[in-house]
């Protein structure tokens, strides 16, 4: 059954229309030379001074300057459309905890007693709210705002919605934080679009193939189809405006067995390097980037026949990139470290429920099987490239712990058992670039390990996937 339309989803969908309608150039005053338009991807490489200027997030807006009036009109339109859908859906009355009266102002804005974690379905919270955040963010970018100003617009719109349109609900802490994931999604989409100013503009690598998944798992191995879409590796250019978009999926005879979406965007940073060409071919030298980035991840993986979902907002952390060129050999290393907020399915819930009554646990855990968590993420990678061959390793690790208290129905929680989930995914890949340079054949072996704990109950699962794909860069 198709999920009911929600105002946040409606708002997120409007971003397509916004991107399709470019703003008019600002008129030039009498006798003034019109402002130049942004350079195309075929323009000459930027100078070091231009790179330094582009490294500042305060410079990355429209040359014509922000259009505040247009931004206000678009936001007002989105709020009106979203409010009409929200107020017209009687199912939302189930979330009403407060009356429409002045007395509600005290718990909402003074004591903050109304600031709680809600117990909506996970798909409403995520990807619903990060997509809504991306809409706020893209309104700013379309209207000429830079990254910092667009992020501020997102935060303001996010708080305004929770405080006004959803006045009769609890002020949802998880909604406020998850919407911040729209910064990474919005900036990555902006850079991949026709107005992007990095190497990601208008480019995507698509891979499709087949393999065997569930190797070593309790449910057994079975054939599977694989699909992978991603921005190219050089979408992290020598300026500090890098973004990444990744969409992975695998399906077998029981349906979708693995799905992964990831968006990442740098906010600021520093870069340096010295690379020279060689008369014998190849390049010599190095490039270094260090900066601050944010990200958003939505994933689902089937462990032992049970789907486990996770929504992770990488709030902020260092992003490090090192490239060494040694003639015909290139070595690329990367490390991202983040502080996270997440909503994650409890892997040990069934194990705990076999010996305990679940009626007194946290409300989202009792209703939907997930909990709110804080933690961290590490994403290291290492690649050796000697054209036309490439060998790489990458991993991502999430360490998440439950946030205690502040449940929407905290007064009914009698068993607030602490939870934790650790998730490790690592993959080794070998690739060959065909004589048609835009086409690549890739062999990939990936391991997945999940460990969960709830109170005194523990559960661990592991499996692996082997796939062979053929990809093309567009």
Residue 229 belongs to domain with CATH number: 2.40.230
- DSSP H or E stretch at residue 162: helix 147-163
- Whole-angstrom distance, CA of residue 220 vs CA of residue 65: 58
Q: Please check whether residue 61 lies inside any domain of the structure.
A: yes
Question: Count of domains in the chain?
Answer: 2
Distance CA 377, CA 461 (A): 19
Is residue 198 in some structural domain?
no
Residues 361, 263 share a domain: yes
Contact 453, 373 (CB under 8 A): no
Single residue among 189, 219, 252 that ends a domain in this structure: 189
For 146-155, 228-237, 273-282, 361-370, which range has the lowest pLDDT when averaged over its residues? 228-237
- Residue 70: give the domain boundaries: 7-26+43-189
pLDDT per residue as tens digits for the range 69-118: 999 999 999 999 999 999 998 888 999 999 988 889 999 999 999 999 99
In a domain, 37, yes or no: no
Look at residue 385 and tell me if it is in a domain: yes
Claim to verify: residue 169 and residue 254 sit in the same structural domain: no
CB crowding 389-418: b at 16 or more within 10 Å, else e: ebebebbbbbbbbbbeebbbbeeebeebbe
Residue 246 CA to residue 185 CA, distance in Å, equals: 11
CA 248 from chain centre, in angstroms, equals 13
Contact (Cβ atoms closer than 8 angstroms) between residue 241 and residue 268: no
Distance of alpha carbon 471 from alpha carbon 297, whole angstroms? 23
* Most confidently modeled range among 31-40, 217-226, 301-310: 301-310
Asked if 181 and 211 sit in the same domain, the reply is: no
Note whether 163 and 109 are same-domain residues. yes
Mean pLDDT of the region 318-330 = 92
Q: 309 and 279 share a domain?
A: yes
Is 38 part of a structural domain of the chain? no
Cβ atoms of residues 460 and 450 within 8 Å: yes
pLDDT of 353 > 80? The answer is yes
Please tell me the distance from the alpha carbon of residue 11 to that of residue 132, in angstroms, as a whole number. 6
Tell me: do 317 and 411 sit in the same domain: yes
Query: Does residue 34 form part of some domain?
Result: no
The model's pTM is 0.85
Report yes or no on 88 lying in a domain: yes
For residue 288, what are its two tokens?
């270094």
Q: pLDDT tens for residues 401-455?
A: 999 999 999 999 999 999 999 999 999 999 999 998 789 999 999 999 999 999 9
Q: Are residues 150 and 51 in the same domain?
A: yes
Over residues 136-188, the pLDDT tens digits come to 999 999 999 999 999 999 999 999 999 999 999 999 999 999 999 999 999 99
* 180 and 209 belong to one structural domain: no
pLDDT at 19: 38
**Dihedral, CA of residue 231, residue 443, residue 306 and residue 348, to nearest 10:** -80
Query: Are 100 and 133 in the same domain?
Result: yes
Say yes or no to pLDDT of 243 above 80: yes
- Inform me whether the pLDDT recorded for 126 exceeds 90: yes
Q: Which of 132, 165, 189 is the last residue of a domain?
A: 189
| Cα-based angle 255, 257, 262 (whole degrees, multiple of 5) | 125
pLDDT tens-digit series, residues 443-464:
999 999 999 999 999 999 999 9
378, part of any domain = yes
Residue 196: pLDDT over 80: no
User: Under a CB-based contact definition with an 8 Å cutoff, are residues 135 and 129 in contact?
Assistant: no
Q: Which of 130, 158, 189 is the last residue of a domain?
A: 189
Q: Answer yes or no: do 184 and 228 share one domain.
A: no
Per-residue pLDDT, averaged over 272-289, amounts to 85
Tokens at residue 6, please?
Answer: 């929600």
For residues 258 and 140, state if they share a domain: no
Dist. CA 347–CA 421, nearest whole Å: 7
Q: Quick check: helix, strand or coil at residue 202?
A: coil
Instruction: Answer yes or no: do 139 and 17 share one domain.
Output: yes
């Amino acid at each position: 059954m198709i999920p009911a339309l929600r105002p946040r989803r409606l708002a997120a969908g409007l971003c397509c229309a916004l991107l399709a309608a470019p703003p008019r150039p600002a008129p030039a005053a009498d006798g003034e030379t019109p402002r130049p338009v942004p350079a195309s991807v075929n323009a000459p490489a930027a100078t070091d001074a231009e790179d330094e200027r582009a490294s500042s997030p305060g410079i990355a807006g429209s040359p014509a300057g922000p259009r505040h009036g247009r931004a206000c009109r678009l936001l007002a339109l989105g709020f009106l459309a979203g409010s009409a859908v929200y107020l017209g859906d009687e199912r939302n009355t189930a979330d009403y905890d407060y009356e429409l009266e002045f007395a509600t102002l005290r718990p909402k804005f003074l004591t903050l007693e109304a600031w709680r974690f809600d117990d909506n379905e996970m798909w409403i919270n995520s990807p619903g709210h990060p997509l809504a955040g991306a809409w706020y963010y893209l309104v700013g970018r379309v209207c000429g705002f830079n990254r910092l100003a667009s992020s501020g617009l997102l935060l303001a719109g996010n708080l305004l919605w929770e405080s006004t349109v959803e006045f009769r609900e609890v002020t949802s802490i998880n909604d406020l934080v998850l919407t911040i994931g729209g910064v990474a999604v919005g900036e990555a989409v902006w850079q991949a679009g026709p107005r992007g100013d990095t190497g990601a503009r208008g480019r995507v690598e698509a891979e499709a193939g087949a393999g065997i998944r569930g190797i070593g798992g309790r449910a057994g191995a079975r054939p599977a189809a694989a699909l992978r879409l991603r921005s190219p590796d050089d979408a992290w250019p020598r300026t500090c405006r890098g973004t990444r978009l990744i969409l992975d999926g695998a399906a077998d005879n029981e349906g979708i067995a693995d799905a992964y979406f990831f968006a990442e965007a740098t906010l600021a940073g520093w870069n340096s390097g010295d690379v020279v060409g060689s008369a014998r071919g190849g390049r010599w030298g190095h490039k270094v980037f260090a900066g601050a980035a944010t990200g958003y991840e939505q994933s689902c993986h089937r462990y032992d026949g049970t789907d486990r979902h996770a929504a992770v907002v990488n709030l902020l952390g260092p992003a490090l990139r090192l490239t060494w060129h040694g003639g015909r050999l290139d070595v690329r290393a990367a490390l991202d470290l983040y502080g996270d907020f997440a909503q994650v399915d409890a892997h040990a819930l069934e194990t705990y429920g076999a010996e305990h009554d679940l009626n007194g646990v946290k409300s989202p855990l009792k209703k939907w099987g997930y909990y709110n968590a804080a933690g961290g993420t590490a994403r290291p990678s290492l690649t050796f490239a000697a054209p036309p061959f490439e060998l790489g390793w990458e991993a991502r690790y999430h360490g998440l712990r439950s946030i205690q208290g502040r449940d929407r129905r905290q007064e009914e929680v009698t068993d607030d058992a602490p939870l934790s989930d650790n998730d490790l995914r690592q993959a080794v890949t070998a690739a060959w670039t065909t004589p048609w340079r835009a086409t690549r054949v890739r062999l990939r072996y990936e391991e997945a390990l999940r460990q969960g704990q709830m109170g005194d109950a523990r559960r661990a699962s592991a499996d692996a996937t082997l796939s062979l794909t053929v990809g093309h860069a567009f």
